[in-house]
């Protein structure tokens, strides 16, 4: 639901559950993944670790909260948990599409755009931003 209206529906429809399942099975072995559950339903998750392009920094690989569960502090709690995991780094990066409303979330926590590039998804060009932000023990 995050990418509806940003990435073409035809591209989103062809994504493979089988392929994603295999990726998640590996991620759950190799990485720390945190989830938020409400009433026995997973409504959000986050994962992070060493930066895949620059080992001197950490990286937030992904963070998602279902739209119906946003605005309750769940994203902030997941974000803080990743920050705790990345405490050894001075900064972390996160890549996000420019048209994603989550950009405001990262900016609220001190994220600043330091790089933009074009990526192609579903036959259209999209602007991908890379935010860099300081790693602090907690955010208020």
For residue 92, the model assigns a pLDDT of 95
Token pair for 87: 């405490």
**Residue 54: HSE in the Cβ half-sphere, 13 Å Cα cutoff:** 13
| Beta pairing partners, 36 | 44
Model pLDDT, residue 91: 93
Percent helix, strand, coil in the chain, to 5, is: 30, 40, 30
pTM assigned to the model: 0.86
Give mean pLDDT in consecutive 10-residue pieces for the chain, a chain of 140 residues: 86 85 83 91 94 91 93 94 92 95 92 95 94 72
**pLDDT given for residue 22 in this prediction:** 86
Which CATH number does 9-134 carry? Answer: 3.40.630.30
Question: What are the domain boundaries of the chain?
Answer: 9-134
The number of angstroms, rounded, from the C-alpha of 100 to the middle of its chain's C-alpha atoms is 11
How far, CA to CA in Å, does 82 sit from each of 9, 16, 21, 37, 92? 30, 27, 22, 17, 10
Range list of β-strands (E), 3-140: 32-38, 41-50, 58-65, 91-97, 112-121, 124-134
């Amino acid at each position: 639901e995050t990418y509806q209206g940003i990435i073409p529906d035809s591209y989103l429809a062809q994504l493979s559950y089988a392929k994603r399942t295999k990726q998640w099975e590996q991620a759950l072995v190799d990485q720390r993944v945190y989830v938020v559950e409400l009433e026995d339903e997973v409504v959000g998750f986050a994962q992070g670790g060493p930066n895949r392009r620059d080992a001197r920094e950490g990286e937030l690989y992904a963070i998602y909260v279902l739209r119906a569960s946003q605005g309750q502090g769940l994203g902030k709690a997941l974000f803080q948990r990743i920050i705790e995991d990345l405490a050894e780094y001075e900064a972390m990066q996160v890549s996000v599409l420019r048209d994603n409303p989550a950009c405001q979330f990262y900016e609220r926590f001190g994220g600043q755009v330091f790089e933009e590039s074009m990526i192609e998804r579903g036959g259209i060009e999209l602007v991908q931003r890379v935010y860099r932000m300081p790693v602090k023990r907690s955010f208020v």
